[in-house]
Structure 1
Amino acid sequence: MAMDSTRELPKQDFAQTLARGLACLEVLADATTPLGCSDVASAMSVSRAAARRILLTLVHLGYVAEDRGQYSSSPKVLSLGRGMLATGSLWSTVAPEVLQLADRLDDACSISVLENLDILFVCRDATRRIFTSRLGIGDRLPAHCSASGKVLLANLPVDELDRRLRGVTLKAQGPASVTDHATLKIALSQVRQVDYALAIDEMETGTLSLAVPLRERSGKVIAAMSFASHRSRRTPEDLSANVLPQLQRAASRVEATIRNFQDRGWVVI
């Protein structure tokens, strides 16, 4: 659950009730089974009474379904993302580039953005399964142990990176996950130098992922384009020598589309 924004917001401008409602939707979206009121309260760090009011409001609005005291997201939640994923949006426009790259390489490819300390998939080839869980658009992974996440974290301003990491315990996902802040920052510095990231055994044993940044016209990194495979299929040397050039060329074409959207007056994030 991520309620942090990318900048500080004055207290008088922060709508806590809205934030709690969205946080409740995030808790339910991350759950693999329906949750009780007490479960939601615990995940949100609020009282059971507060969680109940939020849940009943969302049920009334149609965003949450309730069955014998158990709550889950309703299909209406999908309408919240309809604008971004609709035909003509940036990520739907570049989806063919991702799918074609996945077909050429016969492995999973995706585009993701950064949300606090998670990556959020906004475009993904869903036909190839690399990780234990099948991942699709809207799913998240911890940024600190994914190639895409490293690219995105590496391109944050130093003070912004420090703010996001402050007080956070990084959890290991795979045998090679980096959980120490200082070690992570050294790794991110190296990513900035080479302009790509490689993650091996960091998310799960045997997994490899490679990512490059996607920049808008000003040079700001707004997303990462990535490739994922398994060591039974690829080697790190293969990724560097053969996959990286293809990923970089595909990223250049996506960046051209991003600039085209900007020329048409769209705000890209």
Structure 2
Amino acid sequence: MRKNPPAALTEVNAVDRHFVTSLQKGLDVLTCFGRQHSRLTLSEVARLTGMSPASARRSLLTLEQLGYLNSDGKRFWMQPRALLVANAYLSSRPMPSLAQPLLDALSERTRESASLGQLLDNDAIIVGRSTARRSLSAGLGIGSRLPAYCSALGRVLLAGLPPQEAQARLRAMPRVALTRQTIFSVPRVVELVQRCREEGYATNDGELEVGVRSMAVPVRDRQGQVVAAMSIAVGVERMGMHEFRDAFLPMLKRARDTLVARLFPG
């Protein structure tokens, strides 16, 4: 008598049957472009995506024909049509639109940059940002990714995971020293993530960018699950870490609390 397959295996097979590999490859190609990879050759795209040159070529030419990319015959670059994908997310999800005026107000009051991030693979991806006149990290914007292990946003988001899952992620992700101050060893980062769980916020002192301090707090849903993190950054020349925490942590928490109340009313 033939036994029924386990439910989990059935679900995996169902997903496999409906998985469109060519769509995955096209999206991988689109997302391999960035500030440091603004114009890419076929071989560079293949290397960045892990695809064969033939697959990369088909995806590139299809995206070019659809108007998402342009090319001079050797290099490819993004076209404005690609913004339609980002706009679809930003306009259809409540969190970015509700957070933006709060980030703007926080940035205006502090004259510093404020961001909202969510966990994506090994990174915190910025889904909302307001930059003050005293601009820091000029390359950061909506869609920018920060390594979870050494950013204040990322450590808050890791702290929202079960401890074993957070530690497993840390061990699996690439970790390098981006500056002389970067803390990247698993035991040290685990210690900082645990401290964040206990204290309710995380900090970063020149670990991502020399001369820049940042601080982040979790955004939780009604069930207490961390769904995002809100942060603020300051130049080291403006204030020390203790002064930074004392002056800006209360304002950061108030902005976070307002966002939570608007996201999850009642």
TM-score (normalizing by structure 2): 0.88
Residue 35 of structure 1 is matched in structure 2 by 40
Equivalent positions of 1:188-203 (< 5 A) are: 188-203=193-208
Residue 107 of structure 1 is matched in structure 2 by 112
How many aligned residue pairs are there? Answer: 253
Matching residue within 224, 230, 233 for 1:225 = 230
Matching residue within 5, 9, 12 for 1:10 = 12
Within 2, Cα distance between the matches of 1:197 and 1:216? 19
Residue 3 of structure 2 is matched in structure 1 by none
Matching residue within 119, 124, 132 for 1:119 = 124
Any unmatched runs of 5+ in structure 1?
1-7, 264-269
Equivalent positions of 1:137-148 (< 5 A) are: 137-148=142-153
Within 2, Cα distance between the matches of 1:58 and 1:224? 33
Aligned sequence identity (%):
33
Deviation at 1:161, TM superposition (A): 2.3
- State the Cα RMSD in Å: 2.1
Q: Which amino acid is the alignment partner of residue 168 of structure 1?
A: M
Residue 267 of structure 1 is matched in structure 2 by none
| Distance change >3 Å, CA 174–CA 11, structure 1 → 2 | farther
Residue 64 of structure 2 is matched in structure 1 by 59
Deviation at 1:62, TM superposition (A): 1.9
Residue 48 of structure 1 is matched in structure 2 by 53
Within 2, Cα distance between the matches of 1:96 and 1:190? 30
| Distance change >3 Å, CA 61–CA 160, structure 1 → 2 | farther
Within 2, Cα distance between the matches of 1:26 and 1:171? 22
1:244 aligns with 2:246: no
| Distance change >3 Å, CA 176–CA 102, structure 1 → 2 | same
Contact 2:38–2:78, Cα closer than 8 Å, also in 1? no
Within 1, Cα distance between the matches of 2:191 and 2:32? 32
Within 1, Cα distance between the matches of 2:164 and 2:13? 21
Deviation at 1:30, TM superposition (A): 5.1
Provide Cα deviations, 1:100-138, integer angstroms capped at 9, x if missing partner: 11111111111111111111111111344212x331111
Any unmatched runs of 5+ in structure 2?
1-8
Contact 1:94–1:257, Cα closer than 8 Å, also in 2? no
